[in-house]
Amino acid sequence: MGRLIRFIFGLFAYVFFFSSFLYLIGFVANVFVPRSIDSGPATSASPAALAATINLALLLLFGLQHSVMARPGFKAALTRLWPAAIERSLYVAMTSVALSLLYVFWRPLPAAVWSVDSESLGVLLHVVSALGWAIVLISTFLINHFELFGLRQIWADMRRADIPETSFRNPLFYKLVRHPIYTGFLLAFWATPDMSQGRLLFAMGMTVYILIGIRYEEKDLIESLGADYSEYRQRVGMLVPGVGKKR
């Protein structure tokens, strides 16, 4: 596979993912998109139990893809068959595929779990959700947005340059919590004045995935960053400032 083809694939993967991310915002908030958590195929076509089963299977598929492909052992095996320069791009593209399948096959469960009557509290919850999405995006730039999504790798590959080894640092949000991206997602998923059964299922499923994923992610970080990250875990909370320190 030539460098130009690798570069084009990396750009495609990034655009595909960023489009999927923007769709996720509309999907969760039930705005701007044709199919969302609470709007899609007629609920009468899918009994609640079947709809919940399908939705859980979609969440499981996303969780398995997102977690398995992130493990060092999988990456090492993959790069024996796939160019290392676009290993991250493939991960990003497959994440987008998993999200797209979720958008297409998700079955709405629109029955209300809670609904906030207070207009001011409703506005506040929308603001918190929007803040969560902003934290997610800003946090990717704080560590290295372009490396996280494979662009730095394909640019270095085009220039035949080496990528400097990643060093440990904890800017801004990372001084407050170890995983601000996940914190942002949790705020975005849970903060709503109108919680349907479908959104509750989605939020709970993603929360379980995040808690499980953090366990494996931190194990990998300790192995790669050593004592620096171990000491960081002792000082900084996991998802909430001051909560979840590892002593």
Average confidence score pLDDT of the chain:
93
Angstrom distance (rounded) from CA 82 to CA 131: 37
What share of the chain in percent tops pLDDT 70? Answer: 97
Does 158 score more than 50 pLDDT? yes
Give the residue-averaged pLDDT of 222-236: 91
Question: Domain for residue 113, yes or no?
Answer: yes
Task: Specify if 71 maps to a domain.
Answer: yes
User: Which tokens sit at 95?
Assistant: 């994440």
In a domain, 247, yes or no: no
Q: What's the pLDDT tens digit per position in 26-36?
A: 999 999 999 99
Q: CA 214, 79, 86 angle in degrees (round to 5)?
A: 80
Does a structural domain hold residue 246?
Answer: no
For residue range 29-60, what is the model confidence (pLDDT) as tens digits? 999 999 999 987 654 456 889 999 999 999 99
Is there a domain that residue 241 lies in?
A: no
Name the range with the highest mean pLDDT among 76-85, 124-133, 165-174, 225-234: 124-133
H or E element that contains 112: strand 112-115
* Burial of 148 (C-beta count, 10 Å sphere; 0-12/13-18/19+): middle
Q: What is the pLDDT of residue 41?
A: 62
Residues forming a β-bridge with 112: 196
Q: Are 173 and 131 in contact (CB under 8 A)?
A: no
Q: How confident is residue 162, by pLDDT bands cut at 50, 70 and 90?
A: confident
Residue 240 lies in a domain: no
Residue 174 placed within a domain: yes
Residue 120 binned pLDDT confidence (cut-offs 50, 70, 90)? very high
Span 154-180, average pLDDT: 89
Q: 60 in the Ramachandran plot: left (φ > 0), alpha (ψ -120 to 50) or beta?
A: alpha
Handedness of CA 182, 134, 138, 23 (dihedral sign): positive
Kindly state whether residue 23 falls inside one of the protein's structural domains. Answer: yes
What's the domain count of the chain? 1
Integer distance in angstroms from the first to the last C-alpha of the chain? 47
Q: Which residue has the tokens 């299922």?
A: 201
Find the domain containing 77 and state its range.
3-235
* pTM of the full structure: 0.94
% of the chain exceeding 90 in pLDDT: 85
